[in-house]
Structure 1
Amino acid sequence: MSKTHVEMIKCPKCKKLSEMTVWDIIDVTDAPEMKQKIRNGEAFRWHCSECDDNSLIFFPTIYHQPGEKYIVSYVPGDPDTAEKCMKDLSNDNESGYNFDNGYTRRVVTDMNQLREKLVILDEGLDDRIIELMKLFIVADIQTSSQDLRITEIYFTKEKDDTYSFAIRFDNDKWGGTAFSKDNYDQVAKTFKTSLLADNEVIIDTEWAVEMLNKNM
Structure 2
Amino acid sequence: MSKNHNEIIKCPECGTEGDFKVWESINTKDDPELKDLVRSGELFMWKCPKCGNNCIVFYPTYYHQPDAKALIHYIPDAPAMAISFMKELTHDPYDEKIKLEKGCRKRVVTDMNSFREKLLILDHEYDDRIIELQKLFLIAELKKSEPDKIIEQVYFNKEKDGTVNFAIKLQGEQWGRAEFSSGNYSHIAKTFKVALAADDEVIIDTDWALAILEKQM
Asked if Structure 1 and Structure 2 have the same fold, meaning a TM-score greater than 0.5 normalized by the shorter chain, the answer is: yes
SS of the aligned residue for 1:125 comes to coil
Match of 1:155 in 2: 156
1:166-191 deviation line (CA, Å, top 9, x unaligned): 00111221001102211111110110
SS of the aligned residue for 1:171 comes to coil
Contact 2:165/2:179 (CA < 8 Å) preserved in 1? Answer: yes
The CA RMSD measured in Å over matched residues stands at: 1.9
Match of 1:75 in 2: 75
TM-score, length-scaled by structure 2? 0.92
Assess, with a 3 A threshold, how the Cα gap between structure 1 residues 89 and 190 changes in structure 2: closer, same or farther.
closer
Matched length: 216
Q: Which amino acid aligns with 2:144?
A: T
SS of the aligned residue for 1:26 comes to strand
Assess, with a 3 A threshold, how the Cα gap between structure 1 residues 87 and 209 changes in structure 2: closer, same or farther.
closer
Structure 1, gaps ≥5 residues long? none
Q: Which amino acid aligns with 1:112?
A: N
1:35-58 deviation line (CA, Å, top 9, x unaligned): 011111111001222332221111
SS of the aligned residue for 2:97 comes to coil
Q: Which amino acid aligns with 2:10?
A: K
Match of 1:141 in 2: 142
Q: In 2, distance between residues paired with 1:144 and 1:111?
A: 30
Match of 1:201 in 2: 202
Match of 2:63 in 1: 63
SS of the aligned residue for 1:51 comes to coil
SS of the aligned residue for 1:96 comes to strand
1:57-105 deviation line (CA, Å, top 9, x unaligned): 1111000001111100001233536425635854766153333731000
Assess, with a 3 A threshold, how the Cα gap between structure 1 residues 182 and 148 changes in structure 2: closer, same or farther.
same
Q: In 1, distance between residues paired with 2:46 and 2:97?
A: 31
Q: In 1, distance between residues paired with 2:50 and 2:85?
A: 34
Q: Does 1:37 align with 2:41?
A: no
Assess, with a 3 A threshold, how the Cα gap between structure 1 residues 113 and 82 changes in structure 2: closer, same or farther.
farther
Q: Which amino acid aligns with 1:184?
A: Y
1:91-146 deviation line (CA, Å, top 9, x unaligned): 76615333373100000001000000000000000000000011100001111111
Contact 2:87/2:202 (CA < 8 Å) preserved in 1? Answer: no
Q: Alignment identity in percent?
A: 48
TM-score, length-scaled by structure 1? 0.93
Match of 2:25 in 1: 25
Contact 1:18/1:50 (CA < 8 Å) preserved in 2? Answer: no
Q: Which amino acid aligns with 1:119?
A: L
Match of 2:121 in 1: 120
Query: Equivalences for 1:165-204 in 2 at 5 Å?
Result: 165-204=166-205
Q: In 2, distance between residues paired with 1:51 and 1:188?
A: 51
